[in-house]
Structure formats: C-alpha cells, structure tokens
Amino acid sequence: MTPYLQQLQPYPFEKLAALKQGITPPAGKAHIALSIGEPAHPTPHLIQEALLTHLHGLSNYPTTKGLPELRQTIAGWLTRRFGLKEGLLNPETQILPVSGTREALFSFAQCLIDKTQNPVVVMPNPFYQIYEGAALLAGAEPYFLNTVEANAYLPDFDAVPEQVWRRCQLLYICTPGNPSGAVIARESLIKLLELAEKYDFVIASDECYSELYDDENSPPPGLLEAAYAVGNTEFKRCVVFHSLSKRSNAPGLRSGFVAGDAAILQDYFKYRTYHGAALPLPTQHASIAAWQDEKHVIENRRLYREKFAAVIQILNDVSTLHKPPAGFYLWLKTPIDDTRFAQQLFAQENVTVLPGSYLSRDFGGFNPGRNHVRIALVAPLEECVEAALRLKNFLNTL
C-alpha cells in the first residue's frame, strides 16, 4: 500500500459518529441532522424527466469528453453567468464533464502534481477534506491558510511566505467558502492570478456553492470572470470546478464540470481517459436540462433565504450570528469547546451539527475551526425552525 495513506486523517463524519457513540438522545425528540451538506430540496422534475427519457443510453459507453451538446451548454452557462465574451470559451478544449466536483478536485491533483519537485499545495483552513487528501496522496505538502473572524473568514494570501509560493504547484480556493460562506472578491482573485503567474502555479477554484447566494443582484464572482477582466482570455493557470449537486439539488446525479486553461485540460483529459470516470449518457442529458434552466435555481435560493431568516431570528438573542453572503451553512461560534458542544447538543436535543475542529487542522499554533460548529440548513424549513428552537434552548443552559 502507498505510505501516503498513513498520512490521511479520519473523515469528519467518522469522527462525528465516534463522538456520538454510546449516547442515547431524548426519545421524544425526533432526530434532526444538520451536519452533512446534502441538499434536501426536491430534485427538479425536468432533470428527472431527462434522465428517464434517455435511459436507453445505458447501452452505450460514454466518452470521457462527453457529448458536444453538454459542453456547449456548459460554455453558454459560464458565458452568461460570469459575463464572458460570447464564443470565448471553446467547448472542445476548455470544458470537461466530471463525476461531481469531489471526484475532480481529488483527481486533478493526482494529474498535476510533480512530487519530484518538493511540491506544496496551498489551501484554506478549515477546508473541504478532499483538498488535503488529494495533496497528500499526490506526494505534496499541504500548506494551510487559516480563515478567521478577524479576516471575515477569508484566507490571508499576503501572509504566505515567499518560499511557500516558490514551492507551490497548486492553490485550492473555495468561493463561496465552506463552511463560512465567505466570498473572495474579484480584486483578490486578480491578485491571485498575478501570484500564479509570478510563481508558476495553478489555481483550482472550487465554486460549487456559487449559485447559492443571498443578494439576487450580486452573484459571487468567479475565477474565469476575474481572468477575463484583466485580459487573460485564455484563462492561463485557471481551472474552475462546478457541480449540479448544490445548484440543482441533485447530489445523487454526480455531475459537474471543470473549465479553464486549455493546455492544462488537455493533459487532464489524457489523465481522465485512464481514470475512467466518464458520465453515463442519461446523466449527461439530465445535466444539459439542468444547466439550461435557471428558474429552479432562483427558487432554490429563495428557499435557503427563508430558512436563514427564520433560524437567525430565533437565535439572534442567544448568539452572535451573521447571515453569510452565500452557501447554506451557518458557522456558529460556540461558548464551549466545539466537540463538547456538538456532543451535548445531540445528547440533550437530538440535533446533530459538525464540530468546526473536524474541518480544520492545527496550524500556526491553533485550530481555526475550534469553538465553531457548522450548521447545514438543508432540512425542510419546519425542521430547521425546530432545530433552531432546540439549539436556543441548549444555548440557554450553558
């Protein structure tokens, strides 16, 4: 077995299961799970219909590159969403469908990293665990950027030592962020592009929460948008990752895409022909239907706004909560240790949340996720309201 496996830590939900083991919550209170970022809104009918209509496609092997119609649809969506020049994105060379962003974020590092060059992969902290696992299994050293309240839970890129940038081969960013919902400004993305050019690294921008935002008139900027704004029309050193899981409430579809630098994607395509993660044809047709429709996405945002408003109103007088600009998480500060908080909340109220320290690593002398819990507002409104009432009751006992 590869020795790199020994460097992997247990996944956060394994730790959470162990934390709850042996605890019997009140029998009179139904369990409410707010720990996993799994959308629970109904998958749009148009996606289901497209999937069923094209089930005959299961008799054919799908190609790694996917249907031209799918890539053209994605190119059109990116152009509209991020204000790109019509025809700028080449669906043949700059877009690849993938089996969800999780698979792609992991495999991308395996393709990109040259472990003979003492590589570093820079990533936010807290972070989506795939970034760290991908870096370690590619033979790279993770370097963490602590995201703290004093910096609006955004990475401080200026604090990275030059020797780290010199060794950096890959920078993972997540905007809007998981777990905070913080959005990296376009100006900051432009600075990252300058750093990537100066120090010769690639930016992998995880934008899977980009379509869940609070202000309908102010969608979060993306990396391709920033590159286009400064004349980087070939999107050099830029690769963005998008998914239908959050945007379209279709986590089981396992459908997303990567887009950006054609030279990088040419090599990544070669890698993927061996990797063997092509999307089944019915999935591709369902994806076409999803990327072509915005009505269900607008409704999705409305439902999340409704839940944020209800939950924050209940908790406002017992905690300091700020509505995030995007995403579907509340990043709640806890008055006691986050693991004790999550454990006791489950024991007393039968509500499950995720300790923030499980999403981050000790770095620079502290763990930036400590004394926070991540609350995923994915359950129906009534359950979120009930969970907030139980959470308020629990906070009042501390």
Question: pTM for this structure?
Answer: 0.97
Which sign does the torsion angle of CA 346, 349, 353, 358 carry? negative
Contact 334, 373 (CB under 8 A): yes
Identify the DSSP state of 375: E
Q: 159-209: per-residue pLDDT in tens?
A: 999 999 999 999 999 999 999 999 999 999 999 999 999 999 999 999 999
The H-assigned helical ranges of 325-380 are 338-349
SS3 98: strand
Q: DSSP states of 166-222 as a string?
A: HHEEEEEEESS-TTT-----HHHHHHHHHHHHHHT-EEEEE-TTTT-BS-TT-PPP-
Using 50, 70 and 90 to split pLDDT, how confident is the model at 215?
Answer: very high
Positive or negative torsion for Cα 357, 363, 368, 370: positive
Buried b / exposed e over 191-214, threshold 16 CB at 10 Å, is: ebbebbeebebbbbbbbbbbbbbb
Is a pLDDT exceeding 90 seen at residue 320? no
- Domain 45-293 bears CATH identifier 3.30.465.10: no
Domains 3-42+296-397 and 45-293 share a fold: no
Give the span between the Cα atoms of 309 and 211, in whole angstroms: 18
pLDDT beyond 90 at 106: yes
pLDDT confidence band for 98 (50 / 70 / 90): very high
* 129 neighbors 15 (Cβ within 8 angstroms): no
- Cα-only R_g, the chain: 21
Give the separation between CA 194 and CA 238, rounded to whole angstroms: 12
Q: 356-373, pLDDT tens digit by residue?
A: 999 999 999 999 999 999
Q: How far apart are CA 323 and CA 305, in angstroms?
A: 9
In CATH terms, the superfamily for domain 3-42+296-397 is Aspartate Aminotransferase, domain 1 (3.90.1150.10)
Mean pLDDT confidence for 111-122: 97
Which residues, including other chains, have CB under 8 Å from residue 162's CB and lie 6 or more apart? none
Q: Which of 75, 62, 121, 96 is nearest to 270 (CA)?
A: 96
DSSP state at residue 160:
S
Task: Say how far apart CA 175 and CA 239 lie, in whole Å.
Answer: 13
DSSP string, 31-85: -EE-SS----SPPPHHHHHHHHHTGGGGGSPPPSS--HHHHHHHHHHHHHHTTPP
Among residues of the chain, what percentage have pLDDT more than 90? 97
Q: What's the Cα-to-Cα distance from 43 to each of 73, 191, 281, rounded to whole Å?
A: 20, 37, 19
* Mean of the per-residue pLDDT values of the chain: 97
Given this model, what pLDDT does residue 266 score? Answer: 98
- The Cβ of residue 53 has, within 10 Å, a number of other Cβ atoms equal to 13
Q: Where are the domains of the chain?
A: 3-42+296-397, 45-293
Residue with tokens 């499950």: 352
**pLDDT over threshold 90, residue 2:** no
